[in-house]
Structure 1
Amino acid sequence: MEPMNAVRLVPVWPINADVFMKENPECDGRNTVVAVWDTGIDPSAAGLQVTPDGKPKILDMVDASGSGDVRMLTRRRIGPHKKSIRTLSGRKVTIPSHWQPTDGFIRLGTKLASELFPRNLLQRLRSHEKENVWGPCLKQLAANLAAQSGELETGLNESSDSGSSSVERSENEASKQSEIVSTGQKYVENSPRNTASDKSTKRNSRQNKLSQKGALHESPKNHIKTSARLLEECLASFDRSYLPLEMVYDCFVFYDGSNWLACVDTSPYEPGKTLADMPLLMDYSIKRQYACFGEDTQLFYTVKIFDEGKTLQIVTNDSGHGTHVAAMTAAYFSDETCDRSTRVTRNGVAPGAQLVSIKISDSRLGSMETGISLLRAIRWTVELKCDVVNYSFGENCVWPNMGRVCKHLNELVNAYGVVMVASGGNNGPGLGTVGCPGGVVEGLIGVAPLVFPEMMRSLYGQPDHWSLVGMDTEQENCDTVVLEPSIPSSDTQTLKPDGPLPAAYTWGSRGPTLDGSLGLCVAAPGAAYTSVAGWQLRPSALLNGSSMSSPLVAGGVALLISAVRHVYSLRNCASPRIPPSLLRLALMNTALPLQHLSLFDQGRGLLQVDKAFDYLMRALGIASTAVLNSTSESISADEQILNNGNGWESSLDRTFSRYERTVSLNYNVHLFQHSVLAIINCQTRDHLFVP
C-alpha cells in the first residue's frame, strides 16, 4: 500500500500555493499579519510556535467577547510581616515571597470555570468527577450499609437461638396483657354510659390495640430491612439529583515596578500544589507566556491586563475550531517537531505569516459570537496593524449589506485597508442561502467550499478507483470538461472526465443574495486534517466546512501581500499599500471556473495564487494606486444591482480611504464601455467620467 503523503492533509495544491512557494521561497507569507477572528487559538498547538525565520508565530491573543474579563477592584495590602490574606472565594492564602508589588497592594478577583471552559471540556470533567469520585463514594456507602445490615441480622439470629425461652415468656406475658385489655374493653362497652366522650375513648382504644398488635408482630429483623431499604432509596435519590460543584479560580494582579503580573490560582484543584507553585504571567504580547488550568484539563490560557490592573482578561479557547483554522492558514512545522520528509507538506498555506488570535465567541453563550465582540475585533485588528482577517463564522441575516456591523466591516476594508476573507456558509444547497457577513457584505471576500478527488482519498478514506458519476457526458455534449480562466489566456486547462471531478459540497451555501449580488467570490477546498486545541486530547483532527475554505484563501492573500512586498524590497522601493479591492479583483479575475458548476456554487471559480500574483504585478506596473483602489471590479451580467424592467442598470463608484482626501481632489479616470456579447445591447461610449 502506498503510504499517505502528508500533503493531502492540508489541500494547498488546488489553489497552486505549493507551486507558488516553490518558485518564490522567500514569499511564504513573511512580513504579513493575519488576524483570526474565531473561537481562540491554543498557544501550545503544534505548528503554531515559530515562523521559518524564527519569529514568534502568534503575536498577540485577545478575547473580544468579554467572557474572559475579570474585575479586579478589591485590593489587599501585604508587607514583610503580613503575607496571609483572605481571597474573594473565602480561602485564606499565603502570598509567596517572590511576589513583590512595589506599592504593597495586590488586586483580587474571582472567575468561574463555566465562563472560561468549553462546554465539552466541562462535560468531560464533570463526567469524570461523577464516575471517579461521586460514584465510588455512593457505592462505598451502599456497601457499608449492606454490611452493617447483615451484621445486625446475624446478631439477631444468634440472640434468638440463645434466648428463645425468654422470648416465649415475653410472648405469653404479652398475650395475657392483651386478654386483660380485651376484658377491660368489654367492661367499658357494657357500661350504661354511652356519651360522645365514651365513643372517642373506644376509637382511641381500638387504635391502640391495633398499634400494639402491629408492634408485637413486627420483628427487629424486619425493622432493619425497612431502614436499610429507605437508606438505599435516599442514596439513589442523591445520585439522581447530583449537581457538580462549580470550580472557582482566585485571580491576583500586581505591579512589580516594570510590568503588570497576573496569577490564576488553580491549586485547589491540583493536589499537592500551592499558590507558590502557580506561574506569574505577563501580557502575552510581551513574552508570549501561557499556562494551563491543570493536567486533567489541558486547557491553556494567556492573560492581558488593562486599566492599571483593574481588569484582567483571561484568554482561552472554547473550541478546536479556531486552532484548526489558524493552522490551515499559517502553520509551520519545524525540523524539531515534524519528520523532515513531510515537513513542507504539513504546513499551512502561508507558513511565514504571523498570527493574531482575536476570540469573538462567547464561552458563556456556547461559542456564539456577538455584535459587540465583532466591533471590538475590528478595533483590535486596526490597533495591531493586521493585513488580513480570516472570519470563519457567520449567521443568517434578513437584509444584506445593512446594519451597524456590516457598516463597520466595510469601513475596516475600505478605510483601513484590511483584506477580510469570510466563509460563505454551510446552509446549502438551496439558492440564496449564503450567510452574513461572508456572502452579503460587499467589501468582503466570500469563499465557497469544494471537495477534490485527492481529498476524498486521503481525508475521507474513499477508494482510489472511481467510476464517473453525477455527470452525463452525452447530455453535456462534450468529450472534455474545459476549465477556463475568467480572463482570456493561452493556458486554458482541460480535464478529461475519466474520473471524479471536483464538486461543491452539498451543504455549502449558494448565492445569490436578495440585493442581486453573486454572494460568493471564489472557491477553495473545504476540508483539512491539522492541529486542534489540546483540551480535546488529540493533536489534530479532520474538519470540513466553508470555515475550512476561508483560511486557505486568507493564507493565499497573505502570500500575495508578502510577494509584493518582497518584490519592492528587492528594488529598494517602498511597497505600495495594496487596496483590498485590488486584491479582490485579482482573486476573482484569475480564478479557475469549473464548467460543471454554476456561479452560485463556486463564485468566480477556484482560487489560483500564482495567476493572481501575475495579475497584481501587471496592475501595479500599469496603473496608479488611486485608480486601483476602486471598489468596483467590472460590469458583468451576473453582478448587476438593479433591474428596472427594461434592462439591467449598473453603476461604478469610487471609495477613497480616510488617508486619501487629497488624492480624491485630483481623481479623474477615462473609461470606455462596450458589450462582449452580441445578445447584450449597451450604449457605446468612448469616454466615461467617474467623479
Structure 2
Amino acid sequence: MNQRRPIPSVAIAFLLAACAGGPPSAQRPTPKVRAAPAPAGVAGTPAPAPPAAPEPSTPPAEAFLEGLMPLSGTGVDRFQTDHPTYDGRGVLIGILDSGVDPGVPGLIVTSTGAPKILDLRDFSGEGKIALSPVTPSGVSGDTVTVAGKPLGGARRIARLATGTTWYAGVLRELSLGKPPAADLNGNGNNTDVFPVVVVRATDGWVVFLDSNLDGSFEDEQPLHDYREGGGRQTIALGTKPLTLAANFSEDHGVPVLDLYFETLGHGTHVAGIAAGHNLYNVAGFDGVAPGAQLLGLKIANNARGGISVHGSMQRAMEYAARFAAERNLQLVLNMSFGVGNEFEGRAAIDSIVNTFLRAHPDVVFTLPAGNDGPGLSTIGFPASADLALTAGALLPGPFLRKSGPRLQLAPDILAWFSSRGAETAKPDLVVPGFAYSTVPRWNTGDEVKYGTSMAAPQAAGLAARLISALAQENRPLAAADVMQALRASTTPVWGAGGGGGMSVLDEGAGVPQIERAYRWLRADHQGSTYVVRAGDSAPAAFRRDGLADPSDTLQVFHVAHAGGLRAARFTLASDVPWLSVPAAVTPNPVSTDITVAYHAAAFTRPGAYTGTVVARNPSDTLAGPLFELVNTVV
C-alpha cells in the first residue's frame, strides 16, 4: 500500500463541506426578478427605479408539490401519516455550521407551535465587537462618541442603563466579505459602519445599534442576549436581508459582545432540511423532523470562505451537550463540514468527535461523507470518525423528472460527487443530498443546494424522529441503538446488484427506511458500536497497489467494543468467494484480532475487488451486523 503523509496533530482550519446552490452550473436556473413600478419623478424627470426584489428559483408552493424537499425515498412521508406525533418533538438538533437565520419562515415554530430555535451562539469569533469604555457628553448628556463620531440619543440609553460605565464599538460590513451577504442593511454596498453601545440593564447586558445610521440612538430598541431575551430578540436592518442576534459574556465584569448573523446561506439551508416546518409559510412543507427544536451553533468564519478550527467545533459540541442536559432534551448534532483526508483514521478532529461521543453515548452525531467522489478512498474528515453517523448523498428522483405530468418519477440514484470509502468503512448510509430549503433573504433564488452537506441533516432528522417516537413510548435509546436501527433498515440504491453495481464503498449499508428502523427498535433489538482497525491505522483494508507478493494474503483486523451491546460471540461470513474467515470468534475483553485470508488466484482481471466480512451476534441474528471488515484490492 502506498503510504501518505500523516496529518499533523495541530489545529487545522476546516473548509465547508463542499456544497453548491442548485443543479450543476449548466442546468442551474436563473433567479427571476419581480418587476417593480418606478416611483414618480421630480419635475418630469423619472426617478431611478429601486432594485428589483429577487424571486425564488421555484415558487415555494410549486417546490412543495414537486417534492423538492425529498422525503419519500426514506419513507418519511408515509411515517408522518402513520405516526403524526413522531416528528422529532422533544428532540434538540444542534446545527454546527455557518449560522442559522432565525427570521426565515420555516424556522419560526415547530409543528406543536413551540419556538423552533432555542438558542443561537457564535463560536467563530467573526461577529466579535471590540468594545472600549465611553462616557456620555454634550448638553444634558445626550451625546455619546463612538469611534470618533458623536451620536445623539444618549439619554435614551441612560434611561435603561444601571451601571456607570458604558462600552462602545462598531460593526463594519467590509470585514464580513462581499455583497450581497455582507450588505447587512441591503443598501447595495458593504462599506457601512454601524455604531454600537453596550450597557448593563436590570435584566443583563444590552446593546444599542444605530441600525438606520441616522446618527442617533433615540429611535433604537435595546437588543438582549438571544438566550436571555425572553422573546428571543433579533434585529433586521434596512431592507432586512438577514437577521442579527446578540451573544453576551463577561471577562472580569467587562462585557464581551458577539453579534450573530448568517452570511453564507449554508447553515440556514441545512437547518430547514433537518427540522423546518411550513417552509416559506407553505402549510405542510416540512423538513425531515418538523417537531424538533434547533440550536444554531456558528462555527464558521463566513467572510473567509466558511473555515473553522478545532477549538470552535469542540466548544460548540460541549455547549450543545450542556444546553440539552439542562433542559432534559435528547440531542442530535449535525456538522456539515469537512475536508479531504490524507490518511484516514489519523485526523485530530476525528479523535475529538470520538472522544465527545464516548463521553455522551446518547448523542447521535451526523456528518457528511464529502464531495470528492466517485474515486475510491475519498471520505473526508471528520466523516471518518468511527462513532459518528456518516451520510453519503443520493440524487433524488424529483430533481431528475422531466416536464410533463404523465411521466413517471425517476428513482433516486447515487450522486456522482458523493465520496466513497476504501481505507475507511464509510459512508454508513446514503440519503438525499439535494433539497429546496430555507435560505436567508439575501440568498433568495438559491433555495436548491446540493452536496453531502445536505445529506447529513437528512440523517439527523431521521435520528430525531426515531428518538422522538421511542421517547413518547417511554423507551430511552442510546446513540448505538438509533444508528444500528438506521443501518439495519436499509434498502439498496436503485441499480445495486444490477446495472448500478453499487458496493459497500459507494452506499454503505444503503438507504434507510424509517418505518423499518422504528419496527427494529420496537422489537427490542440493541445496537452495538465497535471500532475496527486494519493493521495499525486505517479502519478498512485497502491494497491500492494489489498484493505485495504471492505470500501477501493475510490481513489482520483489530476490533474493540466502543458502546452499546457487547456480544459474547461473533459469527463471521464473507460476501465474496475470495475472502475466507473463521466461522466464529470469541471476543477478548479489550481487543480482538481477526485474520482474513485473500485467495490471490481470484484476482485474474484488472480492476478493484471489494469484499466484506460481516460479524453478527448469534444471540440476535435479526439485529443486523455488529461490524464489518471491509477489504479492497486494486
Matched, 1:445 2:355: no
Name the residue aligned to 1:356.
295
Which AA in structure 1 matches 2:103?
S
Contact 1:390/1:551, CA 8 A, preserved across alignment: yes
Matched, 1:101 2:161: yes
Distance across 2 between alignment mates of 1:499 and 1:54: 34
Contact 1:327/1:530, CA 8 A, preserved across alignment: yes
> Under a length normalisation based on structure 1, what TM-score does the superposition of the two structures give?
0.67
Which of 400, 404, 409 does residue 353 from structure 2 map onto? 409
Matched, 1:528 2:435: yes
3-state secondary structure, aligned to 1:652: strand
Offset, 1:686? 6.9
Which of 511, 529, 537 does residue 421 from structure 2 map onto? 511
Contact 2:156/2:217, CA 8 A, preserved across alignment: no
Offset, 1:49? 0.5
Which of 454, 479, 486 does residue 580 from structure 1 map onto? 479
3-state secondary structure, aligned to 2:259: strand
Matched, 1:435 2:380: yes
Name the residue aligned to 1:283.
225
Name the residue aligned to 1:651.
558
Residues 53 and 453 of structure 1: is their aligned pair in 2 closer, same or farther, counting only changes over 3 Å? closer
Distance across 2 between alignment mates of 1:437 and 1:415: 17
Instruction: Report the count of equivalent residues.
Output: 503
Distance across 2 between alignment mates of 1:403 and 1:435: 10
Name the residue aligned to 1:57.
116
Q: C-alpha deviations, 1:444-482, integer Å up to 9, x for none? A: 21111112333322xxx555677xxxxxxxxxxxxxxxx
Contact 1:118/1:319, CA 8 A, preserved across alignment: no
Contact 2:128/2:258, CA 8 A, preserved across alignment: yes
Residues 80 and 100 of structure 1: is their aligned pair in 2 closer, same or farther, counting only changes over 3 Å? farther
Offset, 1:567? 1.0
Name the residue aligned to 1:182.
none
Alignment of 1:455-466 (within 5 A): 455-457=399-401, 462=403
Name whichever structure is richer in strand by fraction.
Answer: 2
Task: Mark the runs of 5 or more structure 1 residues left unpaired by the alignment.
Answer: 130-243, 467-497, 569-574, 658-666
Larger Rg: 1
3-state secondary structure, aligned to 2:227: helix
Offset, 1:303? 0.4
Offset, 1:78? 7.6
Offset, 1:351? 0.3
Which AA in structure 2 matches 1:283?
D
Alignment of 1:613-652 (within 5 A): 613-618=518-523, 621=524, 628=527, 630-632=529-531, 640=540, 645-652=552-559
Name the residue aligned to 2:25.
none
Name the residue aligned to 2:630.
none
Residues 257 and 123 of structure 1: is their aligned pair in 2 closer, same or farther, counting only changes over 3 Å? closer
Name the residue aligned to 1:42.
101
Matched, 1:390 2:334: yes
Offset, 1:587? 1.7
CA RMSD, Structure 1 to Structure 2 (Å): 3.3
Alignment of 1:479-498 (within 5 A): none
3-state secondary structure, aligned to 2:511: coil
3-state secondary structure, aligned to 2:198: strand
- The higher-RCO structure (CA 8 Å, 6+ apart) is 1
Matched, 1:311 2:311: no
Distance across 1 between alignment mates of 2:188 and 2:136: 39
Q: C-alpha deviations, 1:477-518, integer Å up to 9, x for none? A: xxxxxxxxxxxxxxxxxxxxx985432222222222xxx322
Offset, 1:317? 0.4
Which AA in structure 1 matches 2:369?
G
Alignment of 1:650-669 (within 5 A): 650-655=557-562, 669=567
Name the residue aligned to 2:594.
none
Task: Mark the runs of 5 or more structure 2 residues left unpaired by the alignment.
Answer: 1-60, 325-329, 544-550, 591-634
What percentage of residue pairs aligned between the two structures are identical?
Answer: 23
Matched, 1:300 2:198: no
Residues 655 and 554 of structure 1: is their aligned pair in 2 closer, same or farther, counting only changes over 3 Å? same
Which AA in structure 1 matches 2:456?
S
Distance across 1 between alignment mates of 2:365 and 2:286: 22
Contact 2:275/2:287, CA 8 A, preserved across alignment: yes
Distance across 2 between alignment mates of 1:565 and 1:78: 58
3-state secondary structure, aligned to 1:422: strand
Contact 1:652/1:690, CA 8 A, preserved across alignment: no
Residues 35 and 415 of structure 1: is their aligned pair in 2 closer, same or farther, counting only changes over 3 Å? same
Alignment of 1:127-146 (within 5 A): 128=188
Distance across 2 between alignment mates of 1:401 and 1:82: 62
Offset, 1:416? 1.4
Distance across 1 between alignment mates of 2:468 and 2:566: 30
Contact 2:392/2:418, CA 8 A, preserved across alignment: yes
Matched, 1:325 2:270: yes
Offset, 1:63? 1.1
Offset, 1:60? 0.5
Name the residue aligned to 1:566.
472
Contact 1:592/1:606, CA 8 A, preserved across alignment: yes
Which AA in structure 2 matches 1:9?
L
Name the residue aligned to 2:461.
555
Distance across 2 between alignment mates of 1:309 and 1:278: 23
Name the residue aligned to 1:609.
514
3-state secondary structure, aligned to 2:194: strand
Name the residue aligned to 1:220.
none
3-state secondary structure, aligned to 1:267: coil
3-state secondary structure, aligned to 1:519: coil
- Mean Cα displacement is larger for which, 674-683 or 578-587? 674-683
Q: C-alpha deviations, 1:650-678, integer Å up to 9, x for none? A: 33312369xxxxxxxxx975214243668
Name the residue aligned to 1:472.
none
> Under a length normalisation based on structure 2, what TM-score does the superposition of the two structures give?
0.72
Name whichever structure is richer in helix by fraction.
Answer: 1
Alignment of 1:331-350 (within 5 A): 331-333=276-278, 338-339=281-282, 343-344=283-284, 346-350=285-289
Contact 1:581/1:631, CA 8 A, preserved across alignment: no
Residues 558 and 668 of structure 1: is their aligned pair in 2 closer, same or farther, counting only changes over 3 Å? closer
Distance across 1 between alignment mates of 2:184 and 2:206: 31
3-state secondary structure, aligned to 2:262: coil
Q: C-alpha deviations, 1:284-316, integer Å up to 9, x for none? A: 112244444522452210001100452101000
Which of 570, 573, 579 does residue 675 from structure 1 map onto? 573
Name the residue aligned to 1:240.
none
Contact 2:111/2:290, CA 8 A, preserved across alignment: yes
- Mean Cα displacement is larger for which, 363-372 or 35-44? 363-372
Matched, 1:21 2:80: yes
Name the residue aligned to 2:546.
none
Which AA in structure 2 matches 1:559?
R
Offset, 1:80? 11
Distance across 1 between alignment mates of 2:367 and 2:392: 10
